[in-house]
């Protein structure tokens, strides 16, 4: 068997070894075939087999299972004295070589590093700020002109006074429920209700001499505009939260504490930060991790305005219309309020493709965006000093700088050192190290500047404190 696979690794015409990406497919197919043969040998039941009593069938099933695990443990896993041990080791080695040597065939840089060709479509670096600014501008326009009835609540004076506490772990705890914040500003639909009732076209209420009734048409329109705003907001958080998260990470952003899960939206010295859960190494390590992702002040104000004013007003409208209140969920992007596509990775992918096609001329899905941003980060944001300054040795003996670890960690594709030191366990959210927060924030700010976002006082002050 080993001899056959060794021969199979040689190209039949060129008399040289096959590429790893080709040979690993042969090994994987051979491994799968062996597994199917073993399963057939252990569990196959002939068609003419007549069912007996239940006890006899149970004993037969146990015997088959015992037989299967005996074969598996003796000759089908790494560490056994068997051909399968060799096959598995070759497969692992081939996959490692393929991962290290393969390039990304989807895009390439121009020599002056100003143009990125994705599937042969040119994307200039100047197009990325255009995308970011248009997304933020459109989100703010919908929020202010439509949802806030032309009242610019994003600049509400109380937002600058809000603080945060991560010590409250009771169900319902959030930025809005913090007692100190409630004395400054409390979430309420009253302000927007007052503004809505002032509208003359269309009117939200029909008043007669005998009664007052709600007009449902402007409410339905408002719910559609609410969903449109959330579409822009989720893209803004995705592209401007530093190194891009995976869709499943972002859509699990929780604004209020529950009995089962911690909330992960905080204020750090006035700046909104998403402490997103999940890490690429989670399945391997068995531990869930958290990665701080900072959004610029322009997006942070949209988030605060939405939480304090819009969300509560939406809940009131849904109660009037007698529909399921999406606002009762603890998630930022919760149940759809108008029956559109549910909030999942598929919806985010469609939104990313739609907006990148509109503002950049090339439709980029989530994975393509991640790959491009990571390439931009490595080639445009990191300096040669970043790669050698304060270097440490990882588990394989390679030198990896702290800056390198921070960039990789926020992108969620860290090295072993980044996974060990800077992928924080979910239980450590109360002990977030300030130096880590400062460095992750610095990574986000570099990306904000590359995307053409002007940093204000809260953004540039990177002293992170909790009360």
By DSSP bridging, strand 121-124 and strand 115-118 are antiparallel
What distances in angstroms separate CA 249 from CA 76, 117, 289, 392, one per listed residue? 36, 28, 11, 29
For residues 79-94, average pLDDT? 80
Is residue 184 within 8 Å of residue 158, measured between CB atoms?
yes
Structure tokens at 457: 């006082």
How many other C-beta atoms can be found within 10 angstroms of the C-beta atom of residue 73?
11
pLDDT tens per residue across span 292-317 = 889 999 999 999 999 999 999 998 99
Mean pLDDT of the chain: 79
**What's the rounded Cα separation, in Å, for the pair 142 and 147?**
6
pTM of the model: 0.69
- pLDDT of 82 over the 70 cut: yes
d(CA 172, CA 168): 9
Compute how many other C-beta atoms are within 10 angstroms of the C-beta atom of residue 3: 8
Provide the residue ranges of all domains of the chain, joining segments of one domain with +. 2-102, 108-460
pLDDT digits (tens, 9 = 90+) for 333-367: 876 666 556 788 999 999 999 999 999 999 999 98
What angle separates helix 20-43 from helix 83-101, to the nearest 10 degrees? 150
Q: How far apart are CA 331 and CA 319, in angstroms?
A: 19
> In angstroms, how far apart are the furthest CA atoms of the chain?
95
Is the pLDDT at 222 greater than 90? The verdict is: yes
Q: Would you call 321 exposed, middle or buried from its count of C-beta atoms within 10 A (0-12, 13-18, 19+)? A: middle
- Nearby residues of 221 by Cβ (< 8 Å), 6 or more positions away: 202
pLDDT top residue among 64 and 189 = 189
Residue 211 CA to residue 400 CA, distance in Å, equals: 72
Does residue 459 carry a pLDDT above 70? no
Contact indicator for 233, 149 with CB cutoff of 8 Å: no
CB within 8 Å of 156: residues ≥ 6 apart: 185, 304, 305, 308
Q: For the segment 97-136, what is each residue's pLDDT rounded down to a tens digit?
A: 666 555 555 677 888 888 888 878 899 999 999 999 999 9
Average pLDDT over residues 59-73: 84
* Phi, psi torsion values for 303, nearest 5 degrees: -65, -45
Tell me the CA end-to-end span of the chain in Å, nearest whole number: 65
Compare 304 and 1 and report the one with higher pLDDT: 304
Q: How confident is the model at residue 14 (pLDDT cuts 50, 70, 90)?
A: low
Low-confidence winner among 102-116, 154-168, 381-395 (lowest mean pLDDT) = 381-395
Asked, as a colleague might, if the bond just before 54 is cis with ω within 30 of 0, I would say: no
Q: In this predicted structure, which of 186-195, 200-209, 316-325, 333-342 has the lowest mean pLDDT? A: 333-342
| Residue 219, token pair as written in the block | 């409410």
| Tokens 């493709």 sit on residue | 353
Owner of token pair 């009117």: 203
Which pLDDT belongs to residue 146? Answer: 95
What pLDDT, on the 0 to 100 scale, is given for residue 411?
54
Q: Is the pLDDT at 427 greater than 70, yes or no?
A: no
pLDDT at 420: 37
Token reading at 191: 């302000």
């Amino acid at each position: 068997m080993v001899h056959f696979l060794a021969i199979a690794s040689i190209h039949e015409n060129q008399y040289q070894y096959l590429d790893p990406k080709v040979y690993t497919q042969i090994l994987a197919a051979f491994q799968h075939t062996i597994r199917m043969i073993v399963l057939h040998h252990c569990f196959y039941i002939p068609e003419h087999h007549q069912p007996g009593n239940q006890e006899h069938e149970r004993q037969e099933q146990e015997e088959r299972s015992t037989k299967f695990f005996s074969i598996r443990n003796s000759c089908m896993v790494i560490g056994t004295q068997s051909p399968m041990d060799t096959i598995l080791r070759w497969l692992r080695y081939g996959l490692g070589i393929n991962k290290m040597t393969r390039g990304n065939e989807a895009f390439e840089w121009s020599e002056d590093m100003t143009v990125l060709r994705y599937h042969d479509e040119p994307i200039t670096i100047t197009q990325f700020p255009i995308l970011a600014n248009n997304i933020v501008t459109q989100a703010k326009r919908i929020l202010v002109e439509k949802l806030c009835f032309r009242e610019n609540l994003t600049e509400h004076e109380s937002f600058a006074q809000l603080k945060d506490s991560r010590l409250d772990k009771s169900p319902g705890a959030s930025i809005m429920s913090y007692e100190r914040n409630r004395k400054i500003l409390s979430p309420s639909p009253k302000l927007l209700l007052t503004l809505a009732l002032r509208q003359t076209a269309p009117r939200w209420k029909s008043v007669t001499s005998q009664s007052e009734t709600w007009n449902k048409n402007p409410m339905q329109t408002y719910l559609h505009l609410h969903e449109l705003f959330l579409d822009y907001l989720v893209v803004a958080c995705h592209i401007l939260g530093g190194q891009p998260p995976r869709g499943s990470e972002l859509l699990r952003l929780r604004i209020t504490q529950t009995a089962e899960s911690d909330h992960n939206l905080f204020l750090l010295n006035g700046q909104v930060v998403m402490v997103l859960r999940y890490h690429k190494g989670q399945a391997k390590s068995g531990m869930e991790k958290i990665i701080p992702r900072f959004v610029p002040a322009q997006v942070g104000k949209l988030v605060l305005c939405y939480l304090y004013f819009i969300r509560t007003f939406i809940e009131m409208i849904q109660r009037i219309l007698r529909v399921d209140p999406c606002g009762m969920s603890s998630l930022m992007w919760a149940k759809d309020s108008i029956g559109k596509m549910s909030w999942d990775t598929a919806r985010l992918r469609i939104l990313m493709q739609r907006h990148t096609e509109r503002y950049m001329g090339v439709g980029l899905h989530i994975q393509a965006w991640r790959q491009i941003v990571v390439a931009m980060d490595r080639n445009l944001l990191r300096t040669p000093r970043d790669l050698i300054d304060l270097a440490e040795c990882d588990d394989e003996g390679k030198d990896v700088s702290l800056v390198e670890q921070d960039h990789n960690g926020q992108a969620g594709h860290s090295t072993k050192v980044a996974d060990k030191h800077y992928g924080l366990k979910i239980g450590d959210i109360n002990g977030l190290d300030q130096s880590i927060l400062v460095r992750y924030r610095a990574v986000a700010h570099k990306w904000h500047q590359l995307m053409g976002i002007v940093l204000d006082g809260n953004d540039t002050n990177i002293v992170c404190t909790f009360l």
